[in-house]
Amino acid sequence: MNFKTIEWRGDRVRLLDQRRLPGEVCYFDCRDPSSLARAIQGMAIRGAPAIGVAASMGIALAAQKLHTHNLEVFLKNLKKVCQQMRQTRPTAVNLFWAVNRMERLLDRTRSFSIEEIKAKLEDEALQIYKEDLQINRKIGENGKRLIKDRDGVLTHCNAGGLATAGFGTALGVIQAAWTEGKRFHVFVDETRPLLQGSRLTAWELAQEKIPATVLTDNMAGWLMKNGKINLIIVGADRIARNGDTANKIGTYGLAILAKYHGVPFYVAAPTSTLDRSLPSGEQIPIEERSAEEVTHLRGKRITPKGIKAYNPAFDVTPHSLIHGIITEKGIAREPFHKNFKKMFTK
Ligand code: MRU
């Protein structure tokens, strides 16, 4: 992986601008928490684990930039920044998981000096970043045996290094199998409306020289019918206790097609994507983004003026359509609620 999705630089956070890929590889610096919040909202950085890392760095950055000797004022301001980060995007639970982790640290450090709290927040954000990288490598190791030589493996959206601190979840499994010497072909759904598949996943696979073919989102069923796809692996934004999984819009349709054609459908995600407060996917909040993302393609209108467009960014795949959820603690299978419990007590 010869890019850095996100980088802590002491007094600023450097992001790879994912809106401009694959045409331009350019980085930009966020020097305050508001610019990081805008970058998350505007999808310069996206993907569940990556926005969790970005939010935690945003809080650490806010602490660096606060010049006050009054602990109450300092803490009050940082709580506001935590809230600002929570409001950026609603579906990916990793964002809330990371912000809560930073906030818990803040609550534990009330007896420390402001300078000490600043240092602890920075350490925690860097720790979240490092852990994400390690976890993704474990997900890759745990999932790679699912891929066989000559398989056709389909993925949707981008669950690669760009969506995480590095290595990726679904793409991490693909990468680990490839590095082990398995030879297979990856099919990449282009993923309308923002094209995370054809722009980002295809870009990552091309760099790794893993053979890949981009499909428009309506082609997968036909390829499954013709035996070209043997396995589907996608990422996740939030997983409920019963295994219901929110991921990029279009995932649900793929899972139904997979069931009909007998193709195994797997989700790859860190356990931080599991929302144990939710019994089922019914309660997962689904982000609705602007209609303009559908009516326009890279700034150019592609629908008649005045026409309406609907833009839910995610859908929920019921657990009954999921063969297994590949995590850093192993592969969870039905009944997910019981097996998740076991995973957390190990
Ligand atoms: O809207 P995005 O691009 O943030 O959506 C990303 C996805 O749906 C990914 O599949 C998911 O976050 C998993 S990333 C490891």
- List the end-to-end C-alpha distance of the chain, in Å, as a whole number: 32
Residue 327 has pLDDT above 90, yes or no: yes
Note the pLDDT of residue 346.
Answer: 66
Whether 237 sits among the annotated catalytic residues: the reply is yes
Say if residue 335 is preceded by a cis peptide, omega within 30 of 0: yes
- Ramachandran assignment for 149, one of left (phi > 0), alpha (psi -120 to 50 degrees), beta (any other): beta
Share of the chain above pLDDT 90, in %: 97
pTM above 0.75, yes or no: yes
Could you report the per-residue pLDDT of 90-142, keeping only the tens digit for each? 999 999 999 999 999 999 988 999 999 999 999 999 999 999 999 999 999 99
313 lines ligand 1 (CB under 6 A): yes
Taking each helix axis as running N to C, give the angle between helix 170-179 and helix 114-143, from 0 to 180 degrees, rounded to the nearest 10: 60
pLDDT digits (tens, 9 = 90+) for 17-60: 999 999 999 999 999 999 999 999 999 999 999 999 999 999 99
Distance 29 CA to ligand 1 centre (A): 22
- Please give the distance, rounded to the nearest whole angstrom, from the Cα atom of residue 248 to the centre of ligand 1: 6
**CA dist., res. 176 & res. 159, Å (int):** 14
60-83 confidence digits (pLDDT tens): 999 999 999 999 999 999 999 999
The b-or-e profile of 24-46 (16+ CB within 10 A means b, else e) is eeeeeebebbebbbebbeebbbb
Mean pLDDT across the stretch 221-230?
A: 98
Residues 256-300: tens digit of each pLDDT:
999 999 999 999 999 999 999 999 999 999 999 999 999 999 899
> What single-letter amino acid sits at 88?
T
Q: Retrieve residue 114's tokens.
A: 């402001």
Question: Is the distance from the beta carbon of residue 316 to the nearest atom of ligand 1 less than 6 Å?
Answer: no
Testing ligand 1's pocket by substitution, the residue of 97, 133, 158 carrying the most ligand atoms inside 8 A of its CB is: 158
